[in-house]
Structure 1
Amino acid sequence: MLRNLKILACQLLSIWAFSQTDGSIVERVELKNFEELLTYIQNTEERARDSIKLDTSRFAHFDKVDVQGITYWSDSLRVKGFLLQPKKPGKYPAIIYNRGGSLEFGSLTHYVSSIGLGELARLAHEGYVIAASQYRGNGGSEGQEEYGGRDINDVLNLIPVLAAEPKADVSRLGMFGWSRGSMTSFLTLKRTDKFKAMAIGGPSTDILRTAIDDPELDEWWSEFIPNYNVNKKAVLERRSPIYWVHELPKTVPILILQGENDASIPPEYTLDFAKKLSKHKVPYKLVKYVNGTHSLKEVRDEYFEELYAWFGRYLK
C-alpha cells in the first residue's frame, strides 16, 4: 500500500512538472465576441471596471478572427495572454505583440492602450497568428511587474506557445511592440535569433533620458523596477536600446512609427536612436506622422498600411 502511494506521488509530481513546462498553455478560453471578452476580463482581472470604457469602434474585426484568452507557464508562473488567428484553415506567419504601459495601465485590455485586442484582431485578419502577453503581475497574471526585467521571459515563452499552434509558422516570426513594448521587443531581440522582422510604435528607446525629463515617471518606476534605487543609471541603461545598438542583429529590419505630436516620446529621442541605427548599420525604416500623437490613433489606417506592407514583405 505504501509503495503504491509513493508511486502515485511520483506520478503526480511528474504530471505537475510537465504542466509547468515554460511555453505550455494551462488554459484557453474562446472569446467569440466583444461581450464574451468583457465577461472574461471581469472574471480574470482585478481592475475589470476599466474594461467598461473600451471603445467598441476599435473591435470591428474582433469577430472575424478566432480569439482566445490563454494562461501559459513562464518561470513557473501562470501568465495571462491572448492568441488571435485567422478563421480559415492554413499555415500563417506568426507575430508576437508586446504591449505598452506598466502594471494594468495600457495593458491589452485597458481602455487607453495604444494597441489593444481590437487592433490585433485587425492585424490577424490580414493573415497572421498573433500571441500577446499581459506580462507577469498584470491582467490577472501571477508574479510581479519588472518593466524589462524577468518579464522578458514571458515574451520568449510565447515562441513555444506559437510553435504548438497548427496554423502558426514560426519559421516566419515577427515582433511588434508599442511604447514600453518597443523596449521589451529590443530586449527580446538580444536573446534570440528567431525573429525575421520587427515593428515598433511610440518607441521607448532611452528611458534613462525619459526619467530625467519626467520626474513623475522616475518616481513611478522606482516603485516596481528591481534595484532601481540601488543603481538607477545602470538599471535604466540596461533597458534603453540606444546604449547598446551595436548589440542588435543586422539581419532583422525594424519599422519605426513616430508621431510628431507625441508628448510621451519626443520625436528627437527617436531621431537620435535612428542615427545610432544608421551608424551601426542596423536596417530600419522611420515613418513620421505630422499629426500623430503617442497612440497614432489619428492616423490608424495609415500606419496599418505600413504594418501590412512591412510584415507582408518580410514574413509572407
Structure 2
Amino acid sequence: MDFLSKKKMPVFFQSHETEEVTYLVDGIKVRGFLMTPYSEVNRIVVYLRGGKGQVGKVRPGRIAQFKTDHTLLFAPYYRGSNGSEGRDEFGGKDLEDVTVGIQILKTLYPNVPIHMIGFSRGGIQGLLTYQKVNATSFIIWGGVSDMLMMYDERIELRSMLRRMVGHPKKQRSEYELRNAIKDIHKDSPPILIIHGKEDKQVSINMALHLESHLKEEHVKYETIYKEGEGHVFRPQVERDTLEYIFKWMDKCENNE
C-alpha cells in the first residue's frame, strides 16, 4: 500500500521534504500534503483541515507548526478540493480520505505513533476516524463536535449543510451517521480539547458538549480553554498552546 504519486512542492525546510501526494480512495484520486523528515520517523501527525474547498485549505505554514526533526506530517485535502476528484460530503464518504491516507502511512511506517489534530470542521473528521485508525491521541482545536449543534448555531451555514448533508429533520439519519460522540467510550484513545472562549465560528459549547461526554464515559482527556481567544489564537497564545501539544503527545506515547 503506497501513494500513487508524489510531486515536490516549492516549500523548503532544512529538516523536511515537502510533497503533494496522490492516492486512491473508493476509485477516485485524492490529494494531500506530506512533509517527510530527512531523519528517522518516530512520530506521525495528521492534520485535518477545516472549511471546504478553498476556505480553510491546507497551508504548509500551519502544518509546519507541528513538526520536529523526527515527525512526519500529513494533511489530506479531502475529495472535491484542491485537485482531488469526487465530491466532499462533509463527514460522509470523505472520511475515507482520512483513513486510507493513514493506512498508507501505517504501512510505510509500522509501529510509529500517530496523533491526529482536527481544526474547526476537522474536529468532526477526526472524531469519526481516530478510533478506526487506532490513533495514539486526538487533538481537537476549535473543532466541531456535533453537526446538529452546528446547524442550530451557524445560521449562515444552513444552506451549505442542507446541500451537502441534508435537512436535519428530513435527513435525520445523515446527521446521526455524523454523530461521533456516541461511539467514544472509556477505552477510546485520549483526547485533548483546545478552544477559545470567544470563538464566534465554532462555539465553546461544542467543546463543553464533548467534554461532558468524555467525563461521563471516563475517557482520558484534558482541556485548554483560552479566555479572550477566538477561532484563531493570537501568536503568543498559539505558541504556548503548541508547546503544550508537544508535551501532550509525549505523555500519550509514554502512557502517562
TM-score (norm 1): 0.74
1:230 shift after superposition? 7.4
Q: Would you say 1:264 and 2:201 are equivalent positions? A: yes
Corresponding residue for 2:228?
291
Q: Would you say 1:174 and 2:125 are equivalent positions? A: no
Q: Would you say 1:148 and 2:91 are equivalent positions? A: yes
1:95 shift after superposition? 2.0
Please, which of 229, 240, 243 is the counterpart of residue 302 of structure 1?
Answer: 240
Matches within 5 A, 1:240-279: 240-242=179-181, 244=182, 246-248=183-185, 250-279=187-216
Please, which of 73, 77, 86 is the counterpart of residue 24 of structure 2?
Answer: 73
State the AA in 1 paired with 2:89.
E
Corresponding residue for 1:47?
none
* Stretch of structure 1 that moved more, 214-223 or 141-150: 214-223
1:217 shift after superposition? 0.8
Q: 1:125, 1:203 → 2: CA distance?
A: 24
Q: 1:201, 1:300 → 2: CA distance?
A: 11
Corresponding residue for 1:7?
none
1:236 shift after superposition? 2.3
CA 1:220–1:82: 2 relative to 1, 3 Å: same
1:188 shift after superposition? 0.5
Residues 232-283 of structure 1: CA distance to partner in whole angstroms, max 9, x if unpaired? 33322332334x1x54462411111110110012213311321111001111
Matches within 5 A, 1:44-123: 62-88=13-39, 90-108=40-58, 116-123=59-66
State the AA in 2 paired with 1:209.
M
Matches within 5 A, 1:117-266: 117-165=60-108, 168-192=109-133, 194-225=134-165, 227-228=166-167, 231-242=170-181, 244=182, 246-248=183-185, 250-266=187-203
Could you tell me which runs of 5 or more consecutive residues in structure 2 were left unpaired when the two chains were aligned. Answer: none
State the AA in 1 paired with 2:19.
Q
Q: 1:271, 1:164 → 2: CA distance?
A: 36
What is the alpha-carbon root mean square deviation over aligned residues?
Answer: 2.2
1:229 shift after superposition? 7.1
Q: 2:42, 2:110 → 1: CA distance?
A: 6
Residues 173-213 of structure 1: CA distance to partner in whole angstroms, max 9, x if unpaired? 22111111110001113434x21111110020122022122
1:124 shift after superposition? 2.0
1:228 shift after superposition? 4.3
Q: 1:251, 1:223 → 2: CA distance?
A: 32
Q: 1:249, 1:80 → 2: CA distance?
A: 34
Contact 1:86–1:127 (CA<8 Å) still a contact in 2? yes
State the AA in 2 paired with 1:304.
L
State, as a whole percentage, how many aligned pairs show the same letter. 25
Q: 1:87, 1:32 → 2: CA distance?
A: 17
Residues 76-107 of structure 1: CA distance to partner in whole angstroms, max 9, x if unpaired? 1110101112222x131112221111232111
CA 1:255–1:271: 2 relative to 1, 3 Å: same
Local SS of the residue matching 2:150: helix
Please, which of 30, 55, 62 is the counterpart of residue 8 of structure 2?
Answer: 30
CA 1:126–1:283: 2 relative to 1, 3 Å: farther
CA 1:290–1:206: 2 relative to 1, 3 Å: same
Contact 1:32–1:66 (CA<8 Å) still a contact in 2? no
- Structure showing greater radius of gyration is 1
Residues 41-69 of structure 1: CA distance to partner in whole angstroms, max 9, x if unpaired? xxxxxxxxxxxxxxxxxxxxx45421111
Q: 1:135, 1:96 → 2: CA distance?
A: 13
